[in-house]
A = this chain, B = another copy of it.
């Protein structure tokens, strides 16, 4: 018998955590998928330093999942923690919550695991001792008597994102993680449709599907579209510009690669400025996921200061790539807008290769950032970006590929889960019967 513990991420976008239990009547074995953080809940309290807080404090703030539901019964063993991909809303609470399951091994693709290790390293409250294993796509890992897990290659806005298949005697439980169906990713990553079809044939007992953008009545554009948007600006009009500054997600390695390619084509040097850009590209480079030729990344406060001074004196030779697309306090672009580090002004164009994450706090920060940049005469070009999340028609296609017996929509506010449920009904499912809209802290028992 299979249970889905919808621990967290079922009432918000953020702090994702789900668990899947298989019981043979005697004992239940459980696999946890993801342990994420909700930055929003940290941001509304000004003085929060995550690294120094305890699990209980962060749970009280609503910043990390409340996993108490997993501790209640006796005859239950958590046998594995699987991480779908390296975004913080999926791995950011690992240093706080993995200690609840000591010795339980953590699995993920190499890029994900390396990022998770970084989280563990910077933790200041807990010491995390769980073993952490890098897993390859295709590999099937037997994690307990009854359960094996498998990572399936999928496309998202970070490298090596995976769907996780949990093989049980009752059938497969497939957790999508975050995904889109991108057939034209410039870096070559592609969904493993073949394996998905095979799983569909084997028999998917439960599909646990993210639902962030299920309300968009279309197919999500390929990353190739973002590349086209950037090239269409930079390689034509951009050639006439002096200072060029791009900002995007530090973990969005494809996007960064495109920007580096563009800089090369323009005959400019790409300079990545900011701690998190250095972190994500550093690990990516190590794994061969990005080619930094023609680019350099600076990290330490001194190096940042020095390089920005250098750039400001010959702006036409560089393409700056900086943090701060959400107007985050302390990010490089935010500090520039405050008149620090670089005299940003009329000679500069800022390209936002990112949307505003829909949340009043981000809207306010972006508003501050843009107002300040506008007052300095900076030109801004927004929305040269595409989403990393599947839209309604991608979700429909996945359902048709897998033909799952049951569906549990995940990763979204209640209204997103219900939108997914409506889609499932269009495909012949019935709410309460084989598609289950759940809430944080509930258990869905699969009939």
Task: Evaluate contact between A228 and B236: CB separation under 8 angstroms.
Answer: no
Residues of B within 8 A of A365 (CB): 364
Residues of B within 8 A of A221 (CB): 225, 228-229, 232
Nearest CB on B from A225, distance (A): 5
Q: 0/1 per residue, A399-423, Cβ < 8 Å to B?
A: 0100000000000001100100110
- Chain A: residues with Cβ within 8 Å of the partner, total of 57
Indicate if A282 sits at the interface (CB-CB under 8 A).
Answer: no
Nearest CB on B from A168, distance (A): 24
Residues of B within 8 A of A383 (CB): 217-218
Task: Evaluate contact between B360 and A184: CB separation under 8 angstroms.
Answer: no
Q: 0/1 per residue, A212-233, Cβ < 8 Å to B?
A: 0000011101101100110111
| A67 and B414 alpha carbons, distance in the complex (Å) | 29
Residues of B within 8 A of A62 (CB): 375
| A221 and B233 alpha carbons, distance in the complex (Å) | 9
Nearest CB on B from A315, distance (A): 17
Indicate if A379 sits at the interface (CB-CB under 8 A).
Answer: yes
Specify which of B233, B363, B393, B430 is in contact with A363 (CB 8 Å cutoff): B363
Indicate if A78 sits at the interface (CB-CB under 8 A).
Answer: no
Q: 0/1 per residue, A139-151, Cβ < 8 Å to B?
A: 0000000000000
Q: 0/1 per residue, A311-345, Cβ < 8 Å to B?
A: 00000000000000000000000000000000000
Q: 0/1 per residue, A54-65, Cβ < 8 Å to B?
A: 000000001000
Specify the chain B residue showing the minimal Cβ separation from A190: B236
Q: Knowing A181-B236, A361-B364, A361-B368 touch, does A224 contact B219 (C-beta < 8 A)?
A: no
Residues of B within 8 A of A442 (CB): 432
Residues of B within 8 A of A361 (CB): 364, 367-368
Specify which of B218, B380, B421 is in contact with A381 (CB 8 Å cutoff): B218
Nearest CB on B from A376, distance (A): 11
Indicate if A287 sits at the interface (CB-CB under 8 A).
Answer: no
| A364 and B217 alpha carbons, distance in the complex (Å) | 17
Q: 0/1 per residue, A40-82, Cβ < 8 Å to B?
A: 0100100000000000000000100000000000000000000
Indicate if A122 sits at the interface (CB-CB under 8 A).
Answer: no
Indicate if A1 sits at the interface (CB-CB under 8 A).
Answer: no
Interface residues of A in 346-396 (CB under 8 A from B): 359-361, 363-368, 371-372, 375, 379-384, 393, 396
Indicate if A134 sits at the interface (CB-CB under 8 A).
Answer: no
Interface residues of A in 177-214 (CB under 8 A from B): 181-184
Indicate if A303 sits at the interface (CB-CB under 8 A).
Answer: no
Q: 0/1 per residue, A99-123, Cβ < 8 Å to B?
A: 0000000000000000000000000
Task: Evaluate contact between B372 and A44: CB separation under 8 angstroms.
Answer: yes
Task: Evaluate contact between B439 and A183: CB separation under 8 angstroms.
Answer: no
Nearest CB on B from A237, distance (A): 5
Nearest CB on B from A196, distance (A): 12
Q: Knowing A235-B183, A361-B367, A431-B437 touch, does A380 contact B217 (C-beta < 8 A)?
A: yes
A-B contacts, 30 listed (Cβ < 8 Å): A181-B236, A183-B232, A183-B236, A217-B381, A217-B382, A217-B383, A218-B381, A218-B383, A219-B232, A219-B233, A221-B228, A221-B232, A222-B228, A224-B228, A224-B232, A228-B228, A233-B393, A240-B400, A360-B360, A360-B364, A361-B364, A363-B363, A379-B393, A379-B396, A414-B421, A414-B422, A415-B418, A430-B439, A432-B432, A432-B442
- Contacts A221-B228, A237-B397, A431-B439 aside, 10 further interface pairs with beta carbons under 8 A come to A41-B371, A44-B367, A184-B232, A219-B229, A219-B237, A224-B228, A359-B367, A360-B366, A363-B363, A364-B365
